[in-house]
Amino acid sequence: MIADGGTVLMQQRPPDKQHAGLWEFPGGKVEMGETLVAALVREIDEELGVTLCAADLFPVRAASGDPAKGEPSIVLLLFGTRRWQGEPRAVEPGCQLQWTTAGALTTLPRPPLDIPLSQALIPLLEGVAKAGRHT
């Protein structure tokens, strides 16, 4: 979720889970029989109480672990949106939220795959921030 001003919503992982306390992009796993985008719309509603429209979502970047290097065999797909309905709130206990600028994103402690995802997002955030300064 990319807001006017060029900030992105980041979510802190809960204390009882892997990568506890690190900041990730809100989302979750695709369930059997679901499209990628339908899964994202469902997860964002469940986690943040926010309604997304599938047509507003655009792909930003994929990142995957390399099992040959002992990394988990998972693929994360980052989608962006500039539109949503509702005010995000942390539905799950222990999952804080913060709106983060491009500059602050690089210093935020993140799980490994969220780092390349963030790098791909930074030019987009900077573009939105710059456009906001000219309006």
Ligand X SMILES: Nc1nc2c([nH]c(=O)n2[C@@H]2O[C@H](COP(=O)(O)OP(=O)(O)OP(=O)(O)O)[C@@H](O)[C@H]2O)c(=O)[nH]1
Q: Binding segment for ligand X among 34-42, 49-57, 98-106, 111-119 (CB under 6 A)?
A: 111-119
97 Cβ contact list (under 8 Å, min separation 6): 9, 10, 11, 12, 26, 48, 88, 89, 90
For position 116 contacting ligand X by CB under 6 A, the verdict is no
For position 135 contacting ligand X by CB under 6 A, the verdict is no
**Shortest distance (Å) from residue 125 CB to ligand X:** 18
89 contacts 9 by C-beta, under 8 angstroms:
no
For position 113 contacting ligand X by CB under 6 A, the verdict is yes
> Of 53, 54, 74, 75, which lies in the binding site for ligand X, with binding defined by CB under 6 A?
74
> Of 4, 15, 17, 58, which lies in the binding site for ligand X, with binding defined by CB under 6 A?
17
Of 112 and 132, the one with the shorter C-beta distance to ligand X is 112
What backbone torsions phi and psi does residue 40 show, to the nearest 5 degrees? -65, -45
**Shortest distance (Å) from residue 127 CB to ligand X:** 24
Q: What is the distance between the alpha carbons of residues 69 and 71, in angstroms, rounded to a whole number? A: 5
Q: Binding segment for ligand X among 2-10, 20-28, 33-41, 122-130 (CB under 6 A)?
A: 20-28
Burial of 134 (0-12, 13-18, 19+ CB in 10 A): exposed
For position 47 contacting ligand X by CB under 6 A, the verdict is no
Handedness of CA 2, 8, 14, 19 (dihedral sign): positive
Query: What is the contact surface with ligand X in residues (CB under 6 A)?
Result: 17-19, 24, 27-29, 72, 74, 76, 111-114
